Amino acid sequence: MEPAVDRKAGIPEVIDKKNKGKSILNYQPWWFPNFSSKRTSARANFKRFDSVQHFSDHHYVSKGNASKQHSRNWAKKIQADWKILEKDLPETIFVRTCESRMDLMRAVIIGAEGTPYHDGLFFFDIHFPDTYPSVPPMVHYHSGGLTINPNLYNSGHVCLSLLGTWYGNTRENWLPQESTMLQLLVSIQGLILNRKPYYNEPFVGWTKWTPLGEPFSKGYSENVFILSLRTMVYIMRKPPNAKFVRSHYFVRARDIVKAANAYIDGAPVGSIVKGTSQGGSMKFRTEVAVFMKTVVDEFVKLGVKELQDKLKPPPVIHTNTSRGFGFVTFKDEKSTRDAIDEMNGKELDGRTITVNEAQSRGSGGGGGRGGGGYGGRGGGNCGSLDQHGFARDKIWQWSDRWPLNIDFFRNINGKPFRFLFAYHTYLAVSDISLIMYFTKILLPMLAFSYHSYKKGPVPRS
């Protein structure tokens, strides 16, 4: 739902205070090259505010017709909105009105840099009901069936207090005499498509002040970026405005691939803080490399053909399992060391992770529980299971998931490096259903019990 942040009645101030007050709408990640001139040339061919003859594919096209009569106040307010949009739209928002249907509008928001939505195109269909501006406009998001934000449902529903689809105080709701379409569009960009969308989830804002907050937020943003890539593919295949979409991605394709390569190398998603110690997870780096192949295929269809050889390979080449243990093979020592540095002594999904270097993996068989050691598929004696902590009791689970608790194996004959891993289950605190249980059910029960205790027993009549 809507983020628990302080907002003013007007257009929200989208400023990153940690970076000398620079707007996150225009602030570049430190690892991005400067492509300002290319961005400008890509958008120079398109007016930020313009009109089209009709919207045949508009979500609200069936809500009315061209001959329908509307009140004078309705038309006056919409025309006032048009003037404001034409004058003050930021360079990352484009709006089209309909010449034959004054009640329809379409907007596209370009994902801001410093967020997991950067370079994406996000389309919104808008309808002004007969009672506008007494009630807010209706807004539908072109989701492609993907949930890229707690406020943007896969059905296209947009959850925002300014639209009356989420609760808010008086100044956050739609005010007929004050609220404008510009305020609404900038609110969607600044409050929804923001740098840390995890905190838009209801009832999780409190985790921001706990050790749980940042790890959850980081994982959520990584997943959002993958969904943003999927949205790119959806929009390129079914563009609401074909000419604009083709032009945008034709110019931005090379930069998107460069950003993806930075992520594959370990740059944190949407990072705007130089020298951050929080790199992207191995899972995220692999997923970016894998799905970017599909994105690049779409770029090639647009005519950007030289990109096929520019995308870096994933850091994890393949995985396989053997006798309940999982193996992950890396392409080089750097990827291996990155995994160790990232995971050793850290927590993942509520589990403490340890990474230990083990003796080189031999080529013989044997091992096993009875022989006092464990031999993987074709492997030699790697030490006893108890030495590695792999006691077979109820609190241990075997899993193929990566990354988990690791033992490190190094082949000295030039073969790929390998990890042997399993994980210990304590409490999976990352399980959102568990958090929701504590916040929505258990805490209110405890509060009620405490309140009852303070009141004391009810006297008998």
- Name the residues annotated as catalytic: 159
Strand partners, 94: 108
**What whole-number distance in Å separates Cα of residue 308 and Cα of residue 207?**
41
Do residues 140 and 124 touch, judged by C-beta distance below 8 A? yes
CA angle 376–287–216, rounded 5-degree value: 95
Q: How far is 391 from 372, CA to CA, in rounded Å?
A: 13
Task: Return d(Cα 297, Cα 81) in angstroms, integer.
Answer: 40
Q: Nearest 5°: CA angle at 14, between 8 and 16? A: 125
| Terminal Cα distance for the chain, rounded | 47
CB count within 10 Å of CB 61 equals 17
User: Dihedrals φ, ψ of 392, to 5°?
Assistant: -90, 85
Exposure string over 77-96, b if 16+ CB within 10 A, otherwise e: bbeebbeebeeebbebbbbb
Residue in this structure with the two tokens 């045949």, named with its chain if needed: 56
Reduced to 3 states (helix: H, G, I; strand: E, B; else coil), residue 357 is strand
Cβ–Cβ under 8 Å, residues 143 and 149:
no
Cβ count near 370 (within 10 Å): 7
Amino acid letter at 455? K
Contact between 142 and 125 (Cβ < 8 Å) = yes
Write phi, then psi, for 332 (nearest 5 degrees): -160, 175
**DSSP 8-class letter at 234:** H
Q: Which residues does 398 contact at the CB level (< 8 Å), separation at least 6?
A: 324, 325, 422
Judged by DSSP in three states, 118 sits in coil
Q: Which helix (H) or strand (E) holds 273?
A: none
Gyration radius (Cα) of the chain, Å: 27
Nearest-angstrom CA–CA distance, 376 and 378? 6
